[in-house]
């Protein structure tokens, strides 16, 4: 497994994402670079836990974002 140097612990990352107002995985992927300790592949770094932090993006959400 890849080592993520200087990454947040799961609880720190969860708190940071909530502070940033990030709610979906799509939004996370667009904004994770705003904090150098957040990582793109959070689902791999925090297996089994990460998807409890973010709401899934549904087809309806995608359509609403495009309008």
Q: Left (φ > 0), alpha (ψ -120 to 50) or beta: where does 21 sit?
A: left
Distance between CA atoms of residues 64 and 2, nearest Å? 36
Q: What angle do CA 66, 18, 48 make, to 5 degrees?
A: 90
Distance between CA atoms of residues 42 and 25, nearest Å? 10
> pLDDT digit string (tens) for 18-56?
899 988 888 889 999 999 999 888 888 887 777 677 765
Q: Where are the domains of the chain?
A: 10-66
> pLDDT digit string (tens) for 1-20?
455 667 898 889 888 998 99
pTM of the entire predicted model: 0.69
Beta-carbon neighbour count of residue 28 at 10 Å?
A: 19
Distance between CA atoms of residues 57 and 2, nearest Å? 26
């Amino acid at each position: 497994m890849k080592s993520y140097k200087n990454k947040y612990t799961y609880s720190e990352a969860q708190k940071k994402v909530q502070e940033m107002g990030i709610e979906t995985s799509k939004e996370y992927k667009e904004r994770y670079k705003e904090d150098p300790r957040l990582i793109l592949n959070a689902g791999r770094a925090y297996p089994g836990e990460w998807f409890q932090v973010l709401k899934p993006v549904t087809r309806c959400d995608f359509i609403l974002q495009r309008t």
